[in-house]
Amino acid sequence: MTEKLYYADAYLWNFTANVLSCRQKGRYYDIILDRTAFFPEGGGQPGDRGYIGKAKVVDTVLRGGEIVHVCLDAAQGECECSLDGEFRFSNMQQHSGEHIFSGILHSLTGFDNVGFHMGEKEVTVDFSGPVSAGTLREAEIKTNEIIWKNAPITAIYPDESEVSSYDYRSKKEIEGQLRLIKIEGADLCACCGTHVAFTGETGMVKVITSENYKGGVRITLRIGKYALEDYTEKNNSVLEISASLCAKYGEVAEAVEKLKEKQNDLRIELNEAVKETVALRAAEFTPETPYVFDSKGSADFARLLADAGADRVKTAFAFSGSDENGYKYAAASRSEDVRETGRILNSALNGRGGGKPEMIMGSLSAKAEEIKTFIKDLSK
């Protein structure tokens, strides 16, 4: 049985140990030590990484009651071992921050924490019932107040006769020796993970989102350095928006709202202007010239124009674009199936497109004069 050094000292990054066994498994080597500071994945906390001698440890897991160091190389005998301390400390920050928050939310709502996942930068916690925005905010404030107090975080190992005297949170029934993590003024919870010694080390706990999940809620948190990182990213975004809208950074939401209103007004004005232009230009459709050319290059404008032209001629053709860039076209008729006309047009003038019997749309790469001549011949 491997001695668990991480329980005696959660800040032990370097230690010496003997390799008890080293077994090759595919491209990995499973190494078991007589003592280890590598925490094996469990209770939502990822397994540690680092080195056993020169062997790189990519993960640490609990398998059949054994702490297995999953390595890229083999190791033998006595080894100097070192953890990725930055990774571990960050995991301790995340884990302790989650305990403080969950303990406080539990005391405010009575709901249980039924899920916990530590992602690369975010922590998610699932609670068994709905939590209002107000309660969430209160929990966030109280959590950070506990952090500012720099309260001690300690582990308690009650013997069987004492267990019933403790009122603690627990996700599942734990076999063997019970280990409780006590956070002064915030929480008492059964846990196998590693924690910081004082709440102040978690830095900050920030609620990012809350969404309905399996009859309860899933809350996403940013803790410690990832909370700062999140603040920096969001602050940069707000400053960019603020500069681009010439608004104070505390007023960007109002500025965006105003911009949306303005955009909406402009859209209404534009629609009116387009309608007027279409009505004016529709007068250009005649039986001799059942086509109108426009330089905008907008397929939508061609559609509106052809539709208006169909009131004046048997088949109306509208083209939008230029000789250099080609034309978007639309053809409309109230009495004929324009799809056949479209097929003839496409094959004669390098075009593509189609549509319904009363309206087709597409594009052509041909010159205006060629198109005009072609349509005049077609109408004969």
Q: Which residues bind Zn ion (CB under 5 A)?
A: 43, 191, 193
Residue 191 or 292 having the CB closest to Zn ion? 191
Residue 151 or 191 having the CB closest to Zn ion? 191
Residue 191 or 196 having the CB closest to Zn ion? 191
DSSP 273-301: HHHHHHHHHGGG--SS--EEEESS--HHH
Residue 53 or 193 having the CB closest to Zn ion? 193
Q: Least distance to Zn ion from the beta carbon of 92, Å?
A: 11
- Residues 329 and 299: their CA atoms lie apart, in Å, by 7
Q: Least distance to Zn ion from the beta carbon of 98, Å?
A: 7
DSSP 61-74: EEETTEEEEEESS-
Q: Least distance to Zn ion from the beta carbon of 96, Å?
A: 8
Residue 43 or 353 having the CB closest to Zn ion? 43
Residue 42 or 355 having the CB closest to Zn ion? 42
Amino acid at residue number 185: G
Task: Check: CB of residue 45 under 8 Å from CB of residue 194.
Answer: yes
The residue of the chain with the least Cβ separation from Zn ion equals 191
- Burial label, 335 (beta-carbon count in 10 A; 0-12, 13-18, 19+): exposed
* H or E element that contains 363: strand 359-364
Q: Least distance to Zn ion from the beta carbon of 43, Å?
A: 5
Q: Least distance to Zn ion from the beta carbon of 95, Å?
A: 6
Q: Least distance to Zn ion from the beta carbon of 101, Å?
A: 12
Q: How far is CA 225 from CA 91, 204, 221, 279, in A?
A: 11, 8, 12, 62
Of 328, 327, 339, the closest CA to residue 303 belongs to: 328
Of 365, 310, 307, 364, the closest CA to residue 335 belongs to: 310
The gap between the terminal CA atoms of the chain, to the nearest Å, is: 98
Residue 81 or 92 having the CB closest to Zn ion? 92
Q: Least distance to Zn ion from the beta carbon of 99, Å?
A: 6
Task: Return the CA Rg of the chain.
Answer: 35
Task: Check: CB of residue 30 under 8 Å from CB of residue 22.
Answer: yes
